[in-house]
Amino acid sequence: MRRYKVTVTTAADGSATAYSPRIAGRIEQIEYVKGDFADGVDFAITGEATGVGLWSESNVNASAVRAPRQPTHSQVGAALLYAAGGAAVADKIALASDRVKIVIAQGGNAKTGTFHILVDD
């Protein structure tokens, strides 16, 4: 497993965009370590090349950990469901030589926060 650490610093308007190094593997989890970002910060975290969603959350006030997953599908594009209950089946999200794009809004003027991206390669 590998850990990629990305520290993000906002501009005067509270926004920022930062990128991880290139990653190849399955995203296990993303850990946000609150620095001095303003309470109520918004995240939009995606794969840069494809835009695949990894974590989107608004009004975050404290450190948090998320384990992003995506719905799985059959070879004909139908959603795969678990048993008779019809619960969707989700799996880890893979990136292939792609960067994780972290977009921040409402983070405060010149504030920082850190993201740790854990990847099983």
What's the burial of 107, exposed, middle or buried (CB within 10 Å: 0-12/13-18/19+)?
A: buried
Query: What is the pLDDT, as a whole number, of residue 121?
Result: 81
Angstrom distance (rounded) from CA 90 to CA 69: 6
In this structure, whether the domain defined by 2-62+92-120 belongs to CATH 2.60.120 is answered with: yes
113 contacts 34 by C-beta, under 8 angstroms:
yes
* Per-domain boundaries in the chain: 2-62+92-120
What's the pTM? 0.92
The pLDDT of residue 87? 86
A 10 A CB-CB count for 89 gives 13
Query: For 68-102, how does the pLDDT look when each residue is reduced to its tens digit (9 = 90+)?
Result: 999 999 899 988 888 767 888 999 999 999 999 99
Say what the pLDDT of residue 51 is.
96
For 39-55, what is each residue's pLDDT tens digit?
A: 999 999 999 999 999 99
